[in-house]
A and B are shown apart, each in its own frame.
Chain A
Amino acid sequence: MSHPSTYEPSNGFSKWLDRRLPVLRLMHGQFIEFPTPRNLNYLWTFGGILSFCLVVQLITGIVLAMHYVPSGDQAFSSIEHIMRDVNWGWLMRYSHAVGGSMFFLAAYIHIARGLYYGSYKDPREILWILGVLIFLLMMAIAFMGYSLPWGQMSFWAVTVITNLFSSFDTIIPGVGSAIVRWIWGGYSVSETTLNRLFSLHYLLPFILVGVVGLHIWALHVVGNNNPTGVEIQSDSDSVPFHPYITMKDAFAMSLFWMIFAWLIFFAPNYLGHSDNYIEANPLQTPPHIVPEWYFLPQYAILRAIPSKLLGVIAMFASILVLFFVSWLDTSKVRSTKYRPIYKWFFWLFIFTCIALGYLGAKPAEGVYLFYARIFTAYYFIHFLVVMPLIGVIERPKPLPNSITEDVLGKGSSPSGGAGKPEAAPAAPENR
């Protein structure tokens, strides 16, 4: 949100720099005085947590790449070399592998937060779309990273997922197989394929950093949404980013880090699959292949549909539909807190996603298949029917007049609320 800059360069150097490259002024404006709604709850700490996850993946990944060998003969053993011989190699690898899971956990909570509080609505459409783009990139990166240990699950996940493109043969014969051969660089998944996946697994996270930059830029143009969905109207509705949000984020991150650390140190392989400790064998498929937990809902959708092409289309559509929610939701009210009917459907949707995740890990037959079809149907009905329809027929509860009124109750004066310390101007840093 635009606000007058109160940045005062404090010494000779910063004055000199400010006239040449006002980077300190920019940081001060965006990360110190940036006004944030005073009523943000802990669900708003996941943006910071996600940035933290990205940094962890970048650092541990660059370290791993110093010891990893992307060759068909040596990839698998180089992972064991990292685990057993390299100083602290086990810590780097487990942090990176568990880090992938924690990254997705935080992203799913972050997305659900946005869906609940209507953060995708006008004027935050671009901010939301950039978020979906980040999610897509994360999925591509994690898929490529998972291929690198070159175990049985790595190999067969690459085989099955790249083969999804062969379904285009149903539309134009030959095109799908040509794409698959192009991705593989051969007639089967091989070392050639591994090499290019490694190259891209190194590159894409840095592209992701760029898109995250745009995401935060878009956020700082329109400002944070908040649990009421009512925009900031006066000074008493907001608090400066520092120290209020920085402290809250830091505290939440510490709790998140404890769970993260517990997994790394006590259950590093809990979220993985033991078959990935068997070296890739192109002549034998493991009896039961499953993706990592964070891809299970999408995998369940893929298998729920009996046609190969339609299954692939449905799986991609389940992500792409997120690009359009800003326009699919017709309600004038942002926050689901004030939406008595939609509230039920929102929780039904969350239940659907969890159910699909459970079913994705089960064999695609019998009752499992039956329920996977029901939940796949609801997944799409939620976006394509429920969202447009409920917005029109529902009568939302009355909204508070302002964030301040919501926090302090009716009759509170719109400015000079208790949240904004009157004494602040006297504090030395605000001279």
Chain B
Amino acid sequence: MASDIIDPTRRDFVMIASAAFAGIGGAASLWPLIDQMNPDASAEALASIEVDLEPLGEGQAITVLWRGKPVFIRHRTPEEVSMAKKVDINALPDPEAQNTELPEDAPATDKNRTKEGHEKWLVVVGICTHLGCIPKGQGLTDQKGEYGGWFCPCHGSHYDTSGRIRKGPAPDNLAVPPYKFLNDTKIKIG
């Protein structure tokens, strides 16, 4: 009878084994429960889009939707381009190019934020890097902020004609998405 035989080692083994079973099992089932909330396969599918730039006159801009995010495409005037080039990089709040196709520490020159030979085109993700509002400045009559680019009305961030943050609470320049020119008037984003 069990009453007179006490076997601490066997009982300890059963205790430790079942605690380990519950512990490891619990921990292992935690990850699927957390990960199910991450972007799913359909959101991950790297949808790419092609945009025809032909109809865009100088000074005009359009917004296209890529991966659920607005992308600003602006046909900059020569003055806007030269304004963007003149800026002293070291004086910028964010001196990094924020171009997904360049190394992280690439400086925020206008050259690093556009494509060689297509400097008049600026393509950036149109989401304020502060808390995610859509800055104003796409429409011809929009308020464009103190630096002629975009102005975010939510908490007052000003971006310049290269989409770089100049003033206000936003920490980073508007991001440059991955894109390439298929020919002079057509780009593929993504």
Contacts and interface: CB of A to CB of B under 8 A. Distances in A.
Interface stretch (B34-42, B73-81, B178-186): B34-42
Interface in B29-75: 34, 37-40, 43, 63, 65, 67-70
Contacts of A307: 169
B171 A170 contact: yes
B39 A181 contact: yes
- Residue of B70, B131, B153 contacting most chain A CB atoms (<10 Å): B131
Interface string A179-202: 001111111101010001000000
Interface stretch (A50-58, A203-211, A285-293, A395-403): A285-293
Interface stretch (A156-164, A247-255, A262-270): A156-164
Interface string B7-31: 0000000000000000000000000
> Taking each of A182, A187, A192, which has the highest tally of chain B beta carbons within 10 Å of its own beta carbon?
A187
Nearest to A307: B169
Nearest to B143: A287
A186 B134 CA distance: 18
A192 B39 CA distance: 9
A282 B68 contact: yes
B133 interface: yes
A163 B68 contact: no
A159 B130 CA distance: 11
A87 B152 CA distance: 42
B67 A188 contact: yes
Contact of B67 (A187, A287, A364): A187
Contacts of A66: none
Contacts of A171: none
A182 B35 CA distance: 8
B64 to A, nearest CB: 10
B39 A285 contact: no
B155 A364 contact: yes
A411 interface: no
Given A170-B171, A285-B133, A185 B40 contact: yes
Given A186-B68, A308-B169, A303 B155 contact: yes
Interface in B93-121: none
Interface residues of A, number: 34
Given A160-B154, A303-B155, A285 B134 contact: yes
B43 A186 contact: yes
A194 to B, nearest CB: 13
A325 B188 CA distance: 57
B interface, size bucket? 20 to 34
B156 A160 contact: no
A51 B67 CA distance: 44
Interface string A278-300: 00001111011100000000000
Q: Is the interface of B mostly helix, strand, loop or mixed?
A: loop
Contacts of A164: 131
Contacts of B130: 163, 308
A283 B65 contact: yes
A159 B154 CA distance: 11
Contact of B38 (A163, A170, A181): A181
Contacts of B171: 170, 308
Contacts of A162: 132
A288 B39 contact: no
Contact of B39 (A163, A186, A308): A186
A311 B169 contact: yes
Interface string A305-321: 01110010000000000
B182 to A, nearest CB: 24
A160 B67 contact: no
A275 to B, nearest CB: 13
B136 to A, nearest CB: 8
Given A159-B131, A160-B132, A160-B133, A196 B37 contact: yes
A188 B153 contact: no
B144 to A, nearest CB: 14
A365 interface: yes
A283 B153 contact: no
Nearest to B172: A169
A283 B132 contact: no
A163 B131 contact: yes
A308 B169 CA distance: 6
Interface in A328-385: 363-365
Interface of A: 156, 159-160, 162-164, 166, 170, 181-188, 190, 192, 196, 282-285, 287-289, 303, 306-308, 311, 363-365
Interface of B: 34, 37-40, 43, 63, 65, 67-70, 130-134, 152-156, 169-171
14 contacts: A159-B131, A163-B132, A170-B171, A185-B43, A186-B43, A187-B68, A187-B69, A190-B68, A192-B40, A282-B65, A285-B133, A306-B169, A307-B169, A364-B156
Return the 8 tightest CB-CB contacts between A and B, nearest first. Answer: A188-B68, A163-B132, A285-B133, A163-B131, A186-B43, A160-B131, A159-B132, A285-B134
